[in-house]
Amino acid sequence: MPEHVHKEILEDICGNCKGKYCILKEIILHSGLNDRSLEQLKCVERFKYERSGKERKDIGWSEAHLLWVTEGHAKMFDKIYKDGMRNGEIYSLMMDRKK
């Protein structure tokens, strides 16, 4: 995938720090993670946040990843994901299909 597309995905994922220096973006740029992995990681983060809200406690990353897989979200991500999709679109499609 071209570098400019990769940077657009990083901007989408790190939307709160647009126009500012972001250490997370720098770490991600040097991590070697591909766009698909970045998008899925962001989806897991959103899932963790929402599930933690429902349970009124932080479920933690380990439990979020475990639930992501055991509840079928990882398989759904595989079916839905296409290069160039925005994270909000991916996550919305996934959660709409789970209903």
The two counts, helices (H) then strands (E), for the chain are: 6, 0
Mean pLDDT value across the chain: 84
What integer pLDDT is reported at residue 19 of this predicted model?
65
* Backbone torsion region of residue 85, taken as left when φ is above 0, otherwise alpha when ψ lies between -120 and 50, otherwise beta: beta
What integer pLDDT is reported at residue 2 of this predicted model?
52
What integer pLDDT is reported at residue 70 of this predicted model?
97
What integer pLDDT is reported at residue 67 of this predicted model?
97
Query: What is the rounded end-to-end Cα distance, in angstroms, of the chain?
Result: 33
Mean pLDDT for 28-53 is 87
Segments making up each domain of the chain, as ranges:
3-98
How much is the pTM? 0.78
What integer pLDDT is reported at residue 27 of this predicted model?
74
